[in-house]
């Protein structure tokens, strides 16, 4: 079900338009360089992985939705780099213990339901003294407003599953990684998503973002509920717009950048 949801729409177009600039920041924060073996978890179409390969690293891009790999390979070729693409669930990675020097995830692994399992896997596949780097939406501001709209209309999360946005909370991350890492650095950062107008921003989501497409499809037989979702999402795109009146729309998102050193 998760794979089918994320395969809807055009994730590469969505990522290139909105979150593509965060990838190089995570590569820089993790100190990725030539000769390192790097795993990007929930890699999508290669936002981080392709940039890591461009630094000369030996890179594996893993994702539960292999449909993303067609666009990823095309993007990698455009950048003149090669990397390995492997279908994998963040809750059970098919790699050996300590197999990678650096393990990353940018707005990806946070969406797996079992946060504890994901944290365990990130640490397990990272070598002793290696680096784990994560970028996750913070549970405040624009991101919180977006997730609240989705949660209002979507089926409830599986019993016991914490919301994805908790990966952007320092205390939650500390709890997940406590005792598993020797160093844990967390900084709050922001980036801006832009569109020509709130309407254009809304249309981009409606045509490219798999989870929203899946939710609208699930409500297709309930016109009143579908209309309520569209109304709430339209209100979000208007109210969260930080751009100047009459100018391009701008949406400022806060995220938590985590850089940790795996414990031996």
Residue 201 is predicted with a pLDDT of 98
High-pLDDT (> 90) share of the chain, %: 94
CA 139 to chain centre: 14
Count H helices and E strands in the chain, helices first: 11, 7
Q: Residue 148, exposed/middle/buried by CB under 10 A (0-12, 13-18, 19+)?
A: middle
Sheet with 84-87, strands from edge to edge, namely: 84-87, 58-63, 37-41, 100-106, 126-137, 249-262, 181-195
pLDDT-derived band at 1 (thresholds 50, 70, 90) equals: low
Contacts of 160 (CB under 8 A, 6+ apart): none
The whole-angstrom separation of Cα 92 and Cα 62 is: 11
Residue 40 is predicted with a pLDDT of 98
pLDDT-derived band at 226 (thresholds 50, 70, 90) equals: very high
Residue 136 is predicted with a pLDDT of 98
pLDDT-derived band at 161 (thresholds 50, 70, 90) equals: confident
Stretch 167-185: mean pLDDT: 96
Give the phi and the psi of residue 172 in degrees, each rounded to 5: -65, -45
Stretch 180-206: mean pLDDT: 97
From residue 127, alpha-carbon distances to 23, 38, 135, 201, 229 in Å are 22, 11, 20, 41, 45
pTM of the predicted model as reported, rounded to 2 decimal places = 0.96
pLDDT-derived band at 241 (thresholds 50, 70, 90) equals: very high
The whole-angstrom separation of Cα 41 and Cα 86 is: 10
| pLDDT tens by residue, 74-92 | 999 999 999 999 999 999 9
pLDDT-derived band at 167 (thresholds 50, 70, 90) equals: very high
Residue 174 has pLDDT above 70, yes or no: yes
Whole-number mean pLDDT of the chain?
96
Residue 86 is predicted with a pLDDT of 98
| pLDDT tens by residue, 36-89 | 999 999 999 999 999 999 999 999 999 999 999 999 999 999 999 999 999 999
Q: Rounded to 5, what percent of the chain is helix, strand, coil?
A: 45, 25, 30
Residue 100 is predicted with a pLDDT of 98
Residue 159 is predicted with a pLDDT of 81
Higher pLDDT, 79 or 178: 79
Residue 264 is predicted with a pLDDT of 65
pLDDT-derived band at 158 (thresholds 50, 70, 90) equals: confident
Q: Domains in the chain, please, with CATH?
A: 2-262 (3.40.50.150)
Stretch 195-209: mean pLDDT: 97
């Amino acid at each position: 079900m998760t794979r089918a949801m994320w395969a809807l729409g055009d994730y590469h177009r969505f990522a290139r338009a909105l979150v593509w600039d965060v990838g190089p920041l995570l590569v820089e924060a993790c100190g990725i360089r030539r000769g390192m073996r790097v795993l990007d978890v929930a890699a999508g179409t290669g936002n981080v992985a392709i940039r890591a390969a461009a630094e000369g690293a030996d890179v594996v891009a893993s994702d539960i939705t292999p449909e993303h790999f067609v666009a990823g390979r095309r993007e990698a070729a455009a950048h003149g780099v090669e990397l390995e693409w492997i279908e994998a669930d963040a809750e059970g990675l098919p790699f050996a213990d300590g197999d990678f020097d650096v393990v990353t995830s940018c707005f990806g692994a946070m969406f797996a339901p079992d946060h504890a399992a994901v944290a365990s896997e990130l640490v397990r596949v990272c070598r002793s003294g290696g680096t784990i780097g994560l970028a996750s939406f913070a549970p405040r501001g624009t991101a919180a407003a977006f997730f609240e709209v989705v949660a209002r209309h979507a089926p409830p999360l599986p019993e016991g599953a914490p919301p994805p946005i908790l990966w952007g909370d320092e205390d939650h991350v500390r709890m997940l990684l406590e005792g598993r890492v020797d160093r844990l650095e967390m900084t709050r950062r922001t980036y801006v998503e832009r569109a020509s107008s709130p309407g254009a921003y809304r249309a981009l989501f409606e045509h490219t973002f798999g989870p929203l497409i899946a939710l609208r499809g699930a409500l297709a037989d309930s016109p009143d509920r579908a209309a309520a979702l569209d109304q709430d999402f339209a209100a979000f795109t208007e109210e969260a717009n930080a751009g100047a009146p009459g100018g391009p729309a701008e949406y400022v998102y806060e995220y938590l950048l985590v850089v940790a050193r795996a414990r031996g």
